[in-house]
Amino acid sequence: MWQVIQGLKREGRTVFLTTHYMEEAERLADRVAVIHQGRIAAIGSTNDLLESHGGERTLFVEGVQPEQLERIRSEFPEVRQTDGEIAIPADNLDGTARVIELLGRLGLTRGIQIRNPSIENVFLKLIGAHLTEEGELA
């Protein structure tokens, strides 16, 4: 189905697609409308929505011990603890390099991921929800 839609787009045709799969919307759509409780919460290109509602690039680290977390928080107070990992905003290259340098000094060299904001982040932010470990809205 994705190939059919992409082919129609290449031909210059308009396709209206309704989906609950944010990855699908992000990959296929030129413009996205987030609808919540029957109203359009936001509409625009994927890039516009990511810039205005998507949040920031975030560095996630697994296996952080309480004393390591305390040390990280002393330099990066905006760190959040999520399900089994910590999340540190890493909006720019300098900040990311500082975080990675500190993690290396603390011996945290495994279980590190950098995640870019996605349309799913936009959707969750706009409707005021988050996902549980099971992937359910909360």
Q: Which residue ranges in the chain fall short of pLDDT 50?
A: none
Residues 70 and 110 grouped into a single domain: yes
The answer to the question of residue 19 being in a domain is: yes
What pLDDT does 29 receive?
Answer: 92
Task: Look at the pTM and tell me if it is higher than 0.75.
Answer: no
CA atoms within 13 A on the CB side of 7: 4
Q: How far apart are CA 116 and CA 91, in angstroms?
A: 9
Residues 42 and 75 grouped into a single domain: no
What pLDDT does 131 receive?
Answer: 64
Residues 68 and 108 grouped into a single domain: yes
Q: Which domain holds residue 28?
A: 2-53+118-127
Residues 110 and 122 grouped into a single domain: no
CA atoms within 13 A on the CB side of 59: 25
The answer to the question of residue 134 being in a domain is: no
Domain count, the chain: 2
